[in-house]
Amino acid sequence: MRTAAEGLKVLGAVTLGALTALAGALFLLLTLPFVNRPCVRVAAARLAALEARRLRLDTTTLDALGGLDTRPARYLAARVPAGVLGGLMVALPLVGAGAGAQITWAWARDEPFDGMSRSLPLVLYMVVGGCVLLFMDLSGLVGVHALERRLAGRMLGPDRTEMLERRIAELAESRAGIVAAVDSERRRIERDLHDGLQQRLVALSMLIGRSRRGRPELLEQAHQEAQQALTELREVAWRVYPSGLDSLGLGEALAGVAERAGVPVTVVCDLPGRPPMAVETAAYFVVSEAVTNAAKHAAATLVRVEIRQEEDRVFVRVGDDGTGGARPSGGGLSGLARRVAALDGVFDVVSPPGGPTEVTAVLPCG
């Protein structure tokens, strides 16, 4: 079923390509004397952009060209032969079907067709030959579609210099994001230590000083404060880096996150093996931050975590039934976005007011 649907898409794309090739040829014939005018170049760029979208190619370079380049016009001229070839590939089965219908109609009335009378060997010959020709024609349709994509990618896509410039810009932005994420994480650790652990240790010191007067209840309270301080210290250490991730793996580490969450958390981790450590760490922090936000800020009663791998990518999804309204620009989520971007991944947050919230990340692990 899927192959048939893809075949129909290719057939439709080649048919539409043949029609647009004729339209492009007509456009070039009418505008040939004015090809150097900016308005003509802009029109050619728009026609080429339509072709690129039809072939599902990136149009960023075309949008940037405007009327400053002749590449779109050259592409429209170069694709005319491919369009004509595609039109022939589409027309041949129709011609063959028409001829077959005429032969069948004549033989059904026991009349010869073009001097050929009905016989079993002749029928088998025509059926087998027709199937072979149909197979060759379908292969030609696929080839024409691939040729059109390759031609458009080569003539309309970014050249090597443009690709390098884009990559440099992406790397510069990613590096700045990493620095900002590290600084943000340091500030959060400082706040956790100052506002939580430090205050408890000060209170513990005061309780120990007062307990010298011999009041047993103060010693019990000091013991409880010490236990709470140790718990908070472990939480801060896990937020800095989850040491259990190295030995336990991502699934067990996320099970620990679920146990400490304070709300019911379902974890489904379907990984064929252990991904790279950087991917594991990023996935862990995405889940940890999303679960923490759901429990503390969204009043969620249920959180579901799904992690799976498809080919060379790891997909992370955290959904909750909370009140929603999470801002992707918030400190924690923006830090996650920078962490994921540093791995050339994709991070997204969908959290309409009233909920539900869905945090997703796609991490390349090839």
Mean pLDDT of the chain: 77
pLDDT digits (tens, 9 = 90+) for 213-256: 666 676 677 767 777 776 776 666 555 666 667 777 888 888 88
pLDDT of residue 304: 92
Taking only the tens place, the pLDDT of each residue in 182-195 is: 656 666 776 666 66
CA distance 350 to 171: 26
Q: Using the predicted structure, report yes or no on whether residue 315 has a pLDDT greater than 60.
A: yes
pLDDT score, position 209: 66
Q: Which residues of 25-54 are buried (b: 16+ CB within 10 A; e: fewer)?
A: bebbeebeeeeeeeebbebbbebbbebbee
- With cut-offs at 50, 70 and 90, classify the pLDDT of residue 361: very high
| Tokens of residue 349, six digits | 């947050």
Q: How far apart are CA 145 and CA 149, in angstroms?
A: 6
CA within 13 Å, CB half, 144:
29
In the predicted structure, residue 340 carries a pLDDT above the cut 60: yes
Q: Structure pTM?
A: 0.47
CATH architecture of 244-364: 2-Layer Sandwich (3.30)
* Least confident residue range of 3-17, 101-115, 236-250: 236-250
